[in-house]
Every structure is written in C-alpha cells, then in structure tokens.
Structure 1
Amino acid sequence: MPLLAAAKTEFAASQPFAGHRIGMSLHLEPKTAVLLEVLAAGGAEIVATGNHGSTQDDIVAFLREQGMTVHGRRDDTIDEHHANVAAVIAARPTILLDNGADLAAGIVEAGLAETVVGGTEETTSGGVRLRRELAGSVPFPIIVINDSMLKAVGENRHGVGQSVVESIMRITNLMIPGRRFVVAGYGWCGRGIAQYLRAFGGKVAVAEIDELKMFEAALDGYRVAPLADLADWGEVFVTATGFPDIVTPDIIDRLPGGAVLANAGHFPWEIDTAALYASASAVTTLDAAIEQVDLPDGRSIVLLAEGRMVNLAGREPKGNSLEAMDLGFLLQSLSLERVATAASTLDAGAQPVPDDIERTIARRFLTAIGADR
C-alpha cells in the first residue's frame, strides 16, 4: 500500500495527531490495521472496535501487540458489539473515525460532543444518518469520505464491485455466467456490482426508485424495473442501497425457490432477515456464511452472511482490493489530518472531502499505478 506508506513517513515527521485519541469503529481486517499504524505513527492514541461480524481476531491481536486498545472479536453478539462501541465512546476520543455514524450518535447521546474536535465517516449509510437522523445535532465537523469522487469510483464502484462478486463466488461456488442477478440500488456500489457481474457473463437487472439512476442504468444496458417486478425473475439478489427494508416479506413471498440473497450495504437492515427467519420451517447452516432457509410452501431461500456485508464474510474474507483501500484509507488519513490541524476551517456536521485533498490524492494515485506508462 504505497500511498499509506508515504503518508506514514510524512506523519511520523509532522506528528499531526499528537495529543489526540482517535476513536474508531470500522471493519478490522489487515488493510485497516495499516491505516491505524499510519495514524499511530502520527502521534495518535488509538481506541478501536470493529463492525459486527467482520472482525478478524488475528488482526485484533496484532493491533493490541502494537499498544492499541481494541475491543471486539469475530463471534461477538450484536449486544456485545454495541458494548464495544460504547467502550470506545467511554474512552472519550477527541477525533472520530466512524462507520455508520455509530460513534457520532453515541457521542452526542452521551453529552460528550464538546470534547470532540471532529471526525470522518466512511460510508453511504453513515452519511445518510448524519444528514437525516443526526441533522443539526452534531456540533463538530465530520468529513464524509463516501462523498469523495475518488472513493465513489475507486473504492465503491471498482473496489466493492469486484469484492462483492468475488465473495459471492467464493462463498457459494456458483457459476456467474448465464445466471440471473438483480442488483438493488444503482449508486456507486450498485454500478460496480452490476458491471463486474456482467463482465463475468451474468444476466443483470437493476432495481431502483430514483428516476435518474434508472435512466442511467437503462442506458448502461441493464433491464430496469421495480424490485417487486424482478423478484420472480432473479436467481441471485444483491442489495446495495444503504437504506433499510429493501427485501421485505412481500418480496420474499415472490422469490423463486433456490434464490440467493446477499447484502453489500454497511448495515444488516436491507434484507428483512427477522421476517425471513420467523417464517421459516427450518434453517440449516450449509457452510460458513451460507444458510438455507426452508419455507412452509416448499421453497428454500439461500441467505449469505445473515444479511451482513457479504464482501467481508465467509472463509478467508478479503474485502476490497489493496489498491482500492490504499486510495480510500489515504482519503481517511489526510481528512483526519485536516480535522486534527485545521478543524476551525471546517463547518459543523457532515461535509465532503475538501477539494485540495481529493486532487492531491488523485495525483499520488496516478503516479502509484503508473498511469502514464
């Protein structure tokens, strides 16, 4: 990860995070460990937890050996995960590195907002939450990394697109060519998932409710229709909207037997797994991250990763590519540096990555990949 390696050298010299405690809630996997090493080299004290179901225990052990305070394990229950987030909040971080706005919401609820100088938010879901549920209640700046065009194209479209398709192949061992896929959501992640599925020979339809995104998907050559109209056509369904209640009981009732359900969004709320389990006559674990849910009418639905993020699930999960996360985590690093050193120049609440940071990283990435060769 050459971009982060260079940032680590710069931060070791400039110490932008000296005196700061960075509280993090983000998927704990090898590439995240590199990011935390970069921040620690810049003088930060790290208190962190992972996201539910995606934590890699060997990475937790490694980070603890580096002197970082890290909460969580892969098989934590949802209540234990919430306790881990609460422990990060209780440590009174001065800077937040958030995913899904869990830390921001907890800091505000705990009355600790005045102790925070600012932070970053990684995801679409967290950006939506900050601008809706938490609108007007966060008095410090939060740079939404997901607003970045670099992240949209480099990490979401190509990183998530590639890793979701790789994960479905790895977990299920199913053939992509000729199979019918429905991608719910045509944001940057949905665009990438559809693109990579089609590149492997899949037949792809897009379910959207936004007319402009429907227009784009149609001109990109996909079948476009409401999810309810595609439910009996698709064989594999991938949600990538960032919003709850996409695959509802009504949609589940229309699915063909053998349909596979996978979620690429941050929160495990896009597929109504509670309703699916409640209606089941039997649930059988077939392998890591694969469940067969038998329904009373004789159909069986295959659910991946219990509706959690599929690209960090199953055996030997890899997540997004090294290059995509080198790009994305440099966005995190330089945005956190801006928060630490110039928070007064930023507005309170959610905001995009500053343009000068975006352009600096674009130049560095082009050099790193040898784009002129």
Structure 2
Amino acid sequence: MSNYDIKDSKLAEGGRRRIEWAEREMPVLRQIRERFLRERPLAGVRVSGCLHVTAETANLIKTLADGGADVVLTASNPLSTQDDVAASLVSHNEIPVFAIKGEDNVTYYKHLNAALDHKPHVTMDDGADLVSTLHKDRRDLLPQVIGGTEETTTGVIRLRAMAADGALEFPVIAVNDAMTKHFFDNRYGTGQSTLDGIIRATNMLLAGKVFVVAGYGWCGRGLASRARGLGANVIVTEVDPMPALEAVMDGFRVMPMEEAARIGDIFCTVTGDLNVIDKHHFEVMKDGAIVSNSGHFNVEINIPALDAMAVSKSLVRPFVEAYDLKDGRRIHILGEGRLINLASAEGHPASVMDMSFANQALGLEYMVKNGKKLERKVYSVPEEIDREIARIKLLAMGVAIDTLTDEQVRYLNSWQEGT
C-alpha cells in the first residue's frame, strides 16, 4: 500500500501498543466488532472518515474494516493526530491514513481531498469539514453517496444549517445527539480531557484560580463541574437563559463574558460559535491570563484580533503562545486556540469513546441499510440503538438493573386505573 501520508512509519509499534491499551476500555465496540466479523454488514462499502486520529478512533476504524468496509481516514483537526496511531493503522492494518500532527491548513485540505478521492458511499465526519468540502468542491462524487454520520456538536450545527438551506444532498445521522454520546462523551469525556490538556500545557494549579467556562451545554457542564472539583472558582458565561439558569442552580456564578474577562485567570470556550472571546475581552483581561478552547474550531477565540493587538508573540512552552501587548500585559493562548484536550493531551478516555464510537459503527450500519429510503436531512440515532449501547455498557461494567413485570407494563400502557 503506497497511498497514504503520515509522519513516520517507524512509530507504528508504539501506536499498536496505544491502540491495544485503548481497546481494553472499549467493551461495547469490541462486542460490535465480533458481530461485524461474523456478519460482514459493510462488505463492499467505501467509507471516508474525517475524525481525530487517536487510539480510540483506530479501534472504530478496525471495527468497520472487520465489518467488510473499505476505509480511509483523515484528520478532523490539524493538531489532533497521534502520529504513532496513524503509523500503526497503515503498517499493521493496511488502512490508508492521511494525517500528520501539526499539519498546515493547505495540507489539511489536501488530506481531506485525498479521503474524498476514495469515492465514498458513506462519510464519517467530526466537524463537517469533509461533508462541506464534498458539497462545495467535489460535487461529482455526490450521486454515489448513500449518507453519512456526524460526531460532534459543531458539525451537527453546520449540517442542520445546510439542510435548512436545502443544500444537504444526502441524509446524515447526528451521532452527537445520541444520549449515550452527549451525556457521557461530552460531559465526562470533555470535562476531564480538557482539564488534562490545560494542565499538561501549563502545569498550573487550578485550585484557587478563577476559571471561566464559556457555554453551559453538555461539554460546559462537565468542564465546570470538574474545574470546581479541582478547587477552581468557576464562572459560567451563556447566551441562552435556560442553561444560564441551570448553571446558577448548580451553584456557579453566571455573568457576561465582558465582566468575566476582567477577573478570570483561565478561560475555556465550549460553545461551537465564533468570537466568543473577542478583542474587547482581551482589552480588559489580567496580565498573564490563559485562554483556551475545547470547541471543535479555533474560531471561538478571535486570535487575529489578538495578533493585531500584540507587539510580539513567542512560544514559551509547548502549546503555550505568549502575546505581549502594548500596555505591558501578556495573554497566553493554548494550542493555537484549537481543541486543547487533543492538542496537548490525548483526547477523551477510551471508556467514553467506547459509547460514541459504538454509535458511529451502528449508525453507519443503519445508514448503509436504510440510507436510500431516507430524506436529505439530519437524523437522530434511532432510540433502539442508543438503548442497546447503554445496555451493553452496563453489562460490561457488571451493573444489573430491574426489568418491568408484565403487570407493570400493562399499567404503564393503560389509562383506566386512577387514584
């Protein structure tokens, strides 16, 4: 196999060990993989995946290949690739990978197009860059696409906007909307891995710091909870009154970003929107403020505005850039404003990605079987798939639950019996 682009094939053995370590914490995906090996439900299906190239993703890709799929993989973020994992997939599994950690924007889109050269029947996306490129630049490939799956909030937002505009040319399953994804991956996975990335990048003590979380969706909930658990004084900023009220009731201070910017020590955006931290926020931040992002794209922080304000900038630690301003203040940006949990750490723990990627595998199987009957819009993961994943996960954890009796089922489905 010669058609791939990775950093160094000599890293493959380390990648294999990393993949095997992750697999131990992914019992749901392992069970799906065993069935896929027997049934081969994806035989003959070409799949182009645009995902974070991590050990957990490798186990998903191997599962799809064992199900008969012809898979290629490219990175969904320039800083999220684990180069040893990419090398292992190429060397040990003969799966074409186009991903190098730290690749520039030109290379990133070159890799996206290499994945589309595979002429996919199904796309797997994390952020909708693959689908967007397909619709804008590679429309000749659209007629053979059955459908796709989307991993993350930002991508689902983009795809729903495409569907609303009548631009989406095939159905997509929003894996992100599955309860077994956003309840666990977003809340527990993002919460833990984001703090892991911030701490690895800075080696700072969070206890006693004012930690500002922008956005109180599932990712924001997890991040705020875990920052408080480490002793930080947590502030939440929001634009939606419902999650803002929830944050207040959960015991957090809630205020506009312009107020929080004046008192925060560490900032992290998890909104999916752009310019959440903007020029006027930088203008009032403390000297030494640390700014990071755990939303999919680095547009959540207006880095061009900070660039224009700075008289100089320098890399003071790996993944920590210092911007020196005219008034003598210094502001630090972590991981180029990209996903800090993947830029300087290893992303979500395998045990939560187990459920997310189980949704990907079963969602893709569902799309192959049903895609031609579906409309050109964004669909939620079928509830029966979501519940089955939860059931298998509990079984793997050794947790038993009750079962309704026939009498209880009848009662819940009747209306005659009252007080």
TM-score interval, smaller chain: over 0.9
Residue pair 1:172, 1:290 contacting (<8 A) in 2 also: yes
Name whichever of 66-75 and 190-199 sits farther off: 66-75
5 Å matches for 1:38-53?
Answer: 38-50=63-75, 51-53=77-79
Residue pair 1:105, 1:134 contacting (<8 A) in 2 also: no
Which residue of the partner structure matches residue 15 of structure 1? 40
The offset of 1:329, in angstroms, is 0.6
Given residue 54 of structure 1, which amino acid in structure 2 is its aligned partner? S
Task: Say which of 117, 130, 135 aligns to 2:159.
Answer: 130
Residue pair 2:319, 2:336 contacting (<8 A) in 1 also: yes
Aligned partners of 2:179 and 2:326: how far apart in 1? 46
Identity, % of aligned pairs?
39
Aligned partners of 1:209 and 1:370: how far apart in 2? 41
CA shift digits 1:234-254 (9 cap, x unpaired): 110000001111111111111
The offset of 1:260, in angstroms, is 0.3
Task: Say which of 358, 362, 387 aligns to 1:330.
Answer: 358
Aligned partners of 1:134 and 1:351: how far apart in 2? 11
Residue pair 1:113, 1:138 contacting (<8 A) in 2 also: no
Which residue of the partner structure matches residue 253 of structure 1? 283
Task: Say which of 263, 272, 275 aligns to 1:242.
Answer: 272
Q: Secondary structure at the match of 2:43?
A: coil
Aligned partners of 2:120 and 2:318: how far apart in 1? 35
TM-score, structure 2 normalization: 0.86
Name whichever of 334-343 and 106-115 sits farther off: 106-115
* Structure exhibiting the larger radius of gyration computed from Cα positions: 2
The offset of 1:166, in angstroms, is 1.5
Aligned partners of 2:33 and 2:210: how far apart in 1? 44
CA shift digits 1:177-228 (9 cap, x unpaired): 1110110000000000000001111100100000111111110111011111
Q: Secondary structure at the match of 2:322?
A: strand
Residue pair 2:150, 2:174 contacting (<8 A) in 1 also: yes
Given residue 174 of structure 1, which amino acid in structure 2 is its aligned partner? M
The alignment status of 1:117 with 2:143, answered yes or no, reads no
Q: Secondary structure at the match of 1:22?
A: strand
Aligned partners of 2:264 and 2:397: how far apart in 1? 37
Name whichever of 230-239 and 125-134 sits farther off: 125-134
Q: Secondary structure at the match of 2:101?
A: coil
The offset of 1:345, in angstroms, is 4.7
CA RMSD of aligned residues (A): 1.3
Task: Say which of 122, 127, 150 aligns to 1:100.
Answer: 127
Residue pair 1:283, 1:292 contacting (<8 A) in 2 also: yes
The offset of 1:133, in angstroms, is 4.1
Structure 1 unmatched ranges of 5 or more? none
The alignment status of 1:366 with 2:416, answered yes or no, reads no
The offset of 1:91, in angstroms, is 2.0
Aligned partners of 1:346 and 1:218: how far apart in 2? 41
Given residue 257 of structure 1, which amino acid in structure 2 is its aligned partner? D
TM-score, structure 1 normalization: 0.97
Aligned partners of 1:273 and 1:368: how far apart in 2? 44
Task: Say which of 73, 81, 101 aligns to 1:74.
Answer: 101
Which residue of the partner structure matches residue 292 of structure 1? 322
5 Å matches for 1:313-328?
Answer: 313-314=343-344, 317-328=345-356
Given residue 56 of structure 1, which amino acid in structure 2 is its aligned partner? Q
Given residue 341 of structure 1, which amino acid in structure 2 is its aligned partner? K
5 Å matches for 1:334-345?
Answer: 334-345=362-373
Aligned partners of 1:35 and 1:177: how far apart in 2? 37
Which residue of the partner structure matches residue 303 of structure 1? 333
Residue pair 2:163, 2:378 contacting (<8 A) in 1 also: no
5 Å matches for 1:276-287?
Answer: 276-287=306-317
CA shift digits 1:34-91 (9 cap, x unpaired): 1100000001111111121111211111111211111121121011101111111222
Residue pair 1:3, 1:326 contacting (<8 A) in 2 also: yes
Q: Secondary structure at the match of 1:269?
A: helix
Residue pair 2:53, 2:99 contacting (<8 A) in 1 also: no
**Would you identify which runs of 4 or more consecutive aligned residues in structure 1 move more than 3 Å?**
344-347
CA shift digits 1:335-361 (9 cap, x unpaired): 011011222453322111111101111
Aligned partners of 2:159 and 2:174: how far apart in 1? 9
Which residue of the partner structure matches residue 58 of structure 1? 84
Which residue of the partner structure matches residue 196 of structure 1? 226
Residue pair 1:289, 1:305 contacting (<8 A) in 2 also: yes
Aligned partners of 1:133 and 1:181: how far apart in 2? 35
Structure 2 unmatched ranges of 5 or more? 1-25, 402-419
